[in-house]
């Protein structure tokens, strides 16, 4: 079955620390990849997306993600986190099977200490 794995359920960092959140998916074909973020009390919103082309994707608020096809991975990074990055982060995949099913990971809760 198609699935998305996020390796860390909870991450605690101090401000200015670097961030990397892992995401792996299980599907051998072409995929579209997303990272969504949910800030406390707010709805899910898109951070960045990858459809094709340059595997290094830049999103909002200084986030970036790298698609490594051979590793079925789409890890999220930020060089220096801020207290305002405290949120829950979800990796999501749409397998290019002609369907419309978006598969989400379980999420990673990030807490940034001021």
Return d(Cα 86, Cα 35) in angstroms, integer: 15
Of 53 and 114, which has the nearer Cβ to another protein?
53
Shortest Cβ 9–another protein spacing (Å): 8
Output 26 or 102, the one with its CB closest to another protein. Answer: 102
**Of 2 and 17, which has the nearer Cβ to another protein?**
2
Give the residue with the Cβ less far from another protein, 101 or 114.
Answer: 101
Q: Are the beta carbons of 88 and 6 closer than 8 angstroms? A: no
Q: What is the DSSP letter of 14?
A: E
Residue ranges that bind another protein, judged by CB under 8 A:
4, 6, 32, 34, 36, 43-46, 49, 51, 90, 92, 94, 96, 99-107
Listed residue (6, 11, 20) closest to 103, CA to CA: 6
Closest approach, Cβ 34 to another protein, in A, equals: 8
Query: What phi and psi, each to the nearest 5 degrees, are found at residue 68?
Result: -115, 100
Q: How far is the CB of 55 from another protein (least distance, A)?
A: 16
CA distances from 69 to 12, 57, 63, 74 (A): 28, 14, 20, 8
């Amino acid at each position: 079955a198609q699935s998305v794995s996020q390796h860390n359920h909870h991450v605690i960092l101090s401000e200015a620390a670097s961030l990397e959140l892992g995401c792996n998916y299980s599907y051998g074909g072409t995929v579209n990849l997303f990272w969504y973020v949910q800030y406390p009390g707010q709805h899910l919103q898109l951070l960045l997306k990858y459809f094709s082309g340059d595997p290094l994707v830049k999103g909002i608020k200084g986030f970036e993600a790298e698609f490594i096809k051979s590793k079925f991975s789409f890890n999220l990074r930020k060089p220096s986190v801020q207290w305002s990055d405290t949120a829950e982060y979800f990796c999501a995949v749409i397998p290019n099977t002609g369907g419309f099913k978006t598969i989400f990971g379980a999420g990673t809760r990030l807490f940034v200490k001021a």
